[in-house]
Amino acid sequence: MATKALAKTLGLISNPLLQRQNHPKKKIQIFQYLIVLDFEATCWEDKQKQPQPGEIIEFPAVLLDCNTGKIEETFHHYVMPTECTVLSEFCRNLTGIAQETVNKSDPLSAVMKLFSDWIKSISTSRDIVVNPSSENPGKYHATFVTWSDWDLGTQLLYECKRKSVFRASHFNAWIDLRLSYRKYYKSKPQGLNGALEERGMLFVGREHSGIDDAKNTARLVYKMICDGHCFRVTKTIQGKQVISVKPGAISKPISKPVSTVKTTITPPLCKCGVGSVRKQTLNGGPHHGRFYFTCRNKSCNFYTWESVVVELNKEVNGG
């Protein structure tokens, strides 16, 4: 088995997925630059006992030149969590981030300001405009890329809302690379590493290191460009919020599925990418009778009150 794996690594055995794919020439891209993001957040091995919603603890971004495939600029800061300040052992082992690192780091509000300054710097030095609302003659267009919608559509969005941290409007549009990959290659790989392997590439660095994940995501982006894919924005928030909610800091209620109640609200997605279902609290407590959304995956701890989703839906639609 080890010999076969080595042979594949050395290119002595071809990847059948690669054989089935055509490799047309690169197409002209809509975006001359792409900013690849990959947050790391606080996490716990036992999600049922998670004391707080996740908080960003690593904020990395790389600026990819879509013409050359070169990473031109890098932003990388660790972030101090303020709601649950002690990292779990599981989180430290998974991300490689030490407690001392986040203790001496800035909180999210300060890091967001640093990132804003970085965006202004690269915009000035390279004539870049990020997610423009109209044509900007003489400027290079750029947008964000994440492996899924979780980074910008859930984690950053609702952590900023929860902590009253200013979030710039350029975060309202991005490319979901996982979605783009699945549609282009007609394949559903097991995570970023699986996608790299399908393309005959090896992950460089440490998995779940935010900065290494961002750099490897950028490598996969350029591979897709070389294979002929033209990247387009896959997610746009038409307002200040998007319906994709992170769990609140409350105990998960005893409930049963409710399938007979009709609702026009789009069920939010969680980090695992599974659509949620609507349920009702029936535990006789103070929240008895309230509706909420929870993940279909029983091992996932995602949930949010329906009233929160309704409120955010009104903000999106200007109502």
Enter the tokens of residue 124. Answer: 């000035």
Catalytic residues: 40, 208
Q: What is the pLDDT of residues 196-248, one digit of tens each?
A: 999 999 999 999 999 999 999 999 999 999 999 999 999 998 643 333 323 23
Statement: residue 251 has pLDDT above 60: no
Using the predicted structure, report yes or no on whether residue 96 has a pLDDT greater than 70: yes
Q: Report whether 288 contacts 281 (CB < 8 A).
A: yes
Residue type for position 160: C
Query: Token pair for residue 103?
Result: 């203790």
Rounded Cα distance between 34 and 32, Å, is 7
Q: What is the reported pLDDT for 85?
A: 95
Q: Where are the chain's structural domains?
A: 13-236, 255-316
Q: Does residue 318 surpass a pLDDT of 80? A: no
Instruction: Quick: pLDDT tens for 145-194.
Output: 999 999 999 999 999 999 999 999 999 999 999 999 999 999 999 999 99
Percent of the chain with pLDDT over 70: 73
DSSP string, 3-46: HHHHHHHTTSS--HHHHHS--PPPPPPS-SEEEEE--EE---SS
The CA-to-CA distance between both ends of the chain, in Å, stands at 60
C-beta separation of 280 from 255 below 8 A: yes
Task: Please name the residue that has the structure tokens 């393309």.
Answer: 199
User: 280-314, pLDDT tens digit by residue?
Assistant: 766 545 555 677 778 777 667 676 777 777 766 66
Token digits for 105? 């780091």
Helices 191-198 and 177-185: crossing angle in degrees, nearest 10, is 40
Question: Which tens digit of pLDDT belongs to each residue from 52-72?
Answer: 889 999 999 999 999 999 999
The neighbour count for residue 99, using CB atoms within 10 Å, is 13
pLDDT digits (tens, 9 = 90+) for 192-204: 999 999 999 999 9
| Structural domain 13-236, CATH architecture | 2-Layer Sandwich (3.30)
pTM: 0.69
Question: What is d(CA 249, CA 239) in angstroms, rounded to the nearest whole number?
Answer: 25
Check if the beta carbon of residue 195 is closer than 8 Å to that of residue 239.
no
Q: Cβ–Cβ contacts within 10 Å for residue 3, how many?
A: 8
Distance CA 190, CA 180 (A): 15
